[in-house]
Structure 1
Amino acid sequence: MQMKQNDRNRGVAEKGRSFRAATFDLQAILSVPFAGDNQIFYKLKLHVYNLTIFDGSNPEGHCYVWDETHGKKGSAEIGTCLLKYLHGLPETVTHVSTFSDTCGGHNRNKYVAAAMLYAVNKINHLKVIVLKFMESGHSYLEADSMHATIERARKHKTIYTTREWSVLISAARIRPKPYIVNNLNFNDFYDLQKVADTMISNVTEIKEPRGRGRRTKEKRLRETPPDWTSFELLKKFTQSLPVSDKKKRRSITSACRYYTQRLQPIHQ
């Protein structure tokens, strides 16, 4: 916690010019439709995901939103969101320090590490990227406060589409500025497994991976450094993902039928 506070103080002191300290976390699953009606409470709903990144230097809140027809909630999706955040940083930024919890399926894995190695070798102005993981049970992050703000804003709201979630998330905070929302689709996600399998070897459990230019601290470094000059990312998905037949039967069709019957007298 002290290390996180020190990094944030450094970012504030520099006003984010060359150093950024950020925390990130995946919010609990949002659902579509979202309403208080008992008729849809027990229905299977479409899952909507929101990765939040809190930049303590500004402070800015970045939200990356997609639903289950465009992606899953695994490490490839998390790594893709982090890459998009890093690509959006000003060219004056050379050093980025990130904090997250130790969830292996989302944050602490070789695929996210591979994404950060790709970024530090392919984004010219980035020289150092550090991934720091909080101790289990002591992982309060500023990104978690974004989740609480969004949850307060959704009270007594009725939401029928992923786009409506994006609008609500953006407006959940007014001061000092609304959250920056990025809507993602299946074309946006990268195949990070290929990056990890091709460019990383001898991965062991590490607490603070640090990418520095064309080098990275690992338990054992490969004898020949990987060649990043010609390496390009591939897309993870070529088309939108199907919704299971079970979920169609128990969620979308029944919910649409319910609201059609409910709204028909109003239109008449």
Structure 2
Amino acid sequence: MFMEGIQQHSSLKVINQKFLVPAHLHLECDSDHARIERAEKKMDVEVRISHDWYLFVKTVRGKKPFNVYEMKVNDFLSFSSLLQSLLVRRHVDNKNEKVTWLNIRWLQYTTDFGISNFKYPLFEEEPFCQLDL
């Protein structure tokens, strides 16, 4: 998705995607999720479909109300065809070293389509490895 986006938007030169280590950080949205979960426990109506969630979250109150946008089917894009035609999920990097996908914490995409840089730690000074997809 990021590779496609960087190709279609000339203002984008680099996209950095960072993955946080689970259970080590508190994100601002965590308190929002907790607020929704507390309201859900008090709810006496069962939520059965996604539209019900949309209506429910709009009613959750707090200091700052949620801005809720209902997504339509055409708002969602599928990029799975890229993995079946243009791109291949590699198991070794450009130095022929094994790629441990679950340990990657930083992916970097540039205008060079199909090439992705990655790091296992989130340290700035750590050099990127390169992956030719």
Q: Normalising TM by the smaller chain, what interval?
A: 0.5 to 0.7
Question: Which residue of the partner structure matches residue 125 of structure 2?
Answer: none
Question: Which residue of the partner structure matches residue 116 of structure 2?
Answer: 216
Q: Is the 8 A contact 1:169 1:179 kept in 2?
A: no
> 2-side partners of 1:172 and 1:125: how far apart?
37
Residue by residue, what CA displacement relative to the aligned partner does 1:102-125 show, whole Å, maximum 9, x if unpaired? xxxxxxxxxxxxx22222222343
Question: Which residue of the partner structure matches residue 164 of structure 1?
Answer: 52
- Aligned pairs for 1:112-123 (under 5 A) are 115-123=1-9
> 1-side partners of 2:18 and 2:131: how far apart?
20
Question: Which residue of the partner structure matches residue 128 of structure 1?
Answer: 14
CA distance 1:172–1:127, change in 2 (3 Å): farther
CA distance 1:182–1:123, change in 2 (3 Å): farther
1:183 has 2:83 as partner: no
Residue by residue, what CA displacement relative to the aligned partner does 1:47-85 show, whole Å, maximum 9, x if unpaired? xxxxxxxxxxxxxxxxxxxxxxxxxxxxxxxxxxxxxxx
With CA pairs under 8 Å and 6+ residues apart, which has the higher RCO, 1 or 2? Answer: 2
Query: Which of the two has greater strand per residue?
Result: 1
> 1-side partners of 2:2 and 2:61: how far apart?
29
- Aligned pairs for 1:1-268 (under 5 A) are 115-154=1-40, 155-162=42-49, 163-185=51-73, 187-197=74-84, 198-200=86-88, 202=90, 204=99, 205=101, 206-214=104-112, 216-218=116-118, 219-222=129-132
Q: Is the 8 A contact 1:120 1:213 kept in 2?
A: yes
Gaps of 5+ in 1: 1-114, 227-268
Kindly state the Cα deviation for residue 127 of structure 1 after the two structures are TM-superposed: 3.1
Name the stretch that deviates more: 213-222 or 138-147: 213-222
CA distance 1:126–1:167, change in 2 (3 Å): farther
What's the C-alpha RMSD, in Å, of the aligned pairs?
Answer: 3.0
> 2-side partners of 1:151 and 1:171: how far apart?
13
Kindly state the Cα deviation for residue 148 of structure 1 after the two structures are TM-superposed: 0.8
CA distance 1:177–1:123, change in 2 (3 Å): farther
Q: Is the 8 A contact 2:90 2:131 kept in 1?
A: yes
Kindly state the Cα deviation for residue 156 of structure 1 after the two structures are TM-superposed: 2.9
Relative to the length of structure 2, the TM-score reads 0.58
SS of the residue aligned with 2:43?
A: coil
CA distance 1:173–1:129, change in 2 (3 Å): farther
> 2-side partners of 1:160 and 1:136: how far apart?
28
Kindly state the Cα deviation for residue 201 of structure 1 after the two structures are TM-superposed: 5.0
SS of the residue aligned with 1:210?
A: strand
Q: Is the 8 A contact 1:153 1:168 kept in 2?
A: no
> 1-side partners of 2:43 and 2:59: how far apart?
15
Kindly state the Cα deviation for residue 151 of structure 1 after the two structures are TM-superposed: 1.2
Overall identity of the aligned pairs, in %: 23
CA distance 1:178–1:209, change in 2 (3 Å): same
